[in-house]
Structure 1
Amino acid sequence: MKTWHVNDVMTPDVVCVGPDTPYRDVVDLLIGRRINAVPVIDDDRRVIGVVSESDLLRKVEFAGEGEPRWFERRRRGQQHKAAARTAGELMTSPAITLTPMAAVRTAARLLDESGVKQLPIVDTLGRLAGIVTRSDLLKEHLRSDDAVHADVRAAVHEVVIAENSPAVRIAVDRGVVTLAGQVDRWSTKVLLARRVALVPGVVVAVVDEVVFDFDDHRLVEPGPALFVA
């Protein structure tokens, strides 16, 4: 079964700028390309930062305002960007990046935790290799039912291959996977549902209708730790 990585969904042709790119050129680029951020790269294509719409909006936010008070450190930093003239002065650095072989789920979690809308993808030397956006991560969810069914079948086979279990029946309908049939043990039933839930394209639910012959949950669940004095 194929595991989807960032390089399966990222955009390799990335719009980027250098640190000396003027403010107005960055604005024109974002508006003209209908994007909300650009990576800033050095002469070796290493990502040194990102300029986003929020960075650019500092000029609007602080227009006509006086100096922040001495204890308003965050606003002082923001106002510094309001006076910026180049991408290098505007950018947020260091940039939050990922490698091409990072899992799609890792990218989704990082986008959520960081609050950004896109992540530059870099190779082992830190050079720009692509960019992934929130909408790119949804490509995994556009897989056909047939493709998902094939991967679910492979996942089921991996779990039950060591057992003399009857065949597990699989149905896939627009991201909902239904499992039915019988397995030898409770632990197999649990592992089966968890494994299938990781299949790319299983986006709604796993309906688990599998039954088991032997309840082994007390044998596989960890008991209290024993300490010897």
Structure 2
Amino acid sequence: MKHQTVGDVMSDAVVRVQRGTPFKEIAHLLQDYDITAVPVVDAADRPVGVVSEADLLQKMWGVEPDGSAGGGAPAAPVGGKASATDAAGLMTSPAVCAREDWSVVEAARVMARHGIKRLLVVDEGGRLIGVVSRSDLLRVFLRKDRAIRTEIIEEALVQTLRLPPSSVHVDVTHGHVVLSGRLPEHVPVPVLEELCRRVDGVVAVEFRPTGEADGGGPASAGH
């Protein structure tokens, strides 16, 4: 079973800036393109950092490198961003990057591990080719139930487990998969459930032995 990849869901129209791009130009770009962050690239178009709205706000709040703030209010230290005037001083570095052949699952794990909202996508030479956001990854769960059901039957049951397509009834509703029937002794239920969970768009999986499923006929996708 093939997961959707970062390349399938990323945006390849990427606004970027150079290290020397001034503060105000970055602020205008974020507003004009309705984005919350912009990659900073070197002369070879390789990402070296990211400037986000939060980085710009640190500058606007007037926080100084020593942790002081205007008006005598205490503030947390944020390095030299309060006095920065260009992308080189404002950016968060290094940039966290992904490859377009990564699965969306792998990309989501990296985002969670780093606590970030987006990944810059680079090619084999490390050059910027796209951006993938958390909302892009969530598009996987907009997949139609009928497509999920078809993949489970054709790839999990038939191709992987070598079972007849009618051996297990498969019902999918809003990504929730209900399997019903009797499995051969050589096919453990947890194995089938795990194969189903690997299908893009699946939210949950439940197996009901014959007699516990609602109704007795073959199940079908509701959407």
With normalisation by structure 2, the TM-score equals 0.83
Q: Is residue 166–residue 183 contact of structure 1 (8 Å, CA) maintained in 2? A: no
How many residues align? The count is 202
Q: Which amino acid is the alignment partner of residue 179 of structure 1?
A: L
Number of the residue aligned with 1:206: 205
- Change in Cα spacing, 1:89 to 1:184, as seen in structure 2 (3 Å) is same
Number of the residue aligned with 1:122: 122
Equivalence map 1:71-220=2 (5 Å): 75=77, 78-153=78-153, 154-161=155-162, 167-185=167-185, 187-203=187-203, 205-210=204-209
Q: CA deviation at 1:62?
A: 2.8
Q: CA deviation at 1:48?
A: 1.0
Higher mean C-alpha displacement, 186-195 vs 163-172:
163-172
Output one character per residue of 1:112-155: Cα deviation in whole Å (capped at 9) or x when no partner. 22121111001111100110001001110111111111111121
Which of structure 1's runs of 4+ aligned residues deviate more than 3 A?
A: 65-69, 163-166
Question: Secondary structure of the equivalent of 2:30?
Answer: helix
1:9 has 2:9 as partner: yes
Q: Distance in 2 between matches of 1:52 and 1:164?
A: 52
Structure 1: unaligned runs, 5 residues or longer:
212-229
Q: Which amino acid is the alignment partner of residue 138 of structure 2?
A: L
Q: Distance in 2 between matches of 1:165 and 1:59?
A: 61
Q: Which amino acid is the alignment partner of residue 206 of structure 2?
A: V
Q: Distance in 2 between matches of 1:136 and 1:175?
A: 18
Question: Secondary structure of the equivalent of 1:98?
Answer: strand
Q: Distance in 1 between matches of 2:98 and 2:175?
A: 27
Q: CA deviation at 1:19?
A: 1.0
Q: Distance in 1 between matches of 2:108 and 2:166?
A: 37
With normalisation by structure 1, the TM-score equals 0.81
Q: Distance in 2 between matches of 1:135 and 1:126?
A: 24
Structure 2: unaligned runs, 5 residues or longer:
69-75, 211-223
Q: Is residue 157–residue 165 contact of structure 2 (8 Å, CA) maintained in 1? A: no
- Change in Cα spacing, 1:68 to 1:201, as seen in structure 2 (3 Å) is closer
Q: Distance in 2 between matches of 1:94 and 1:177?
A: 40
| Identical counterparts, % of pairs | 38
Q: Distance in 2 between matches of 1:127 and 1:97?
A: 10
Q: CA deviation at 1:182?
A: 1.1
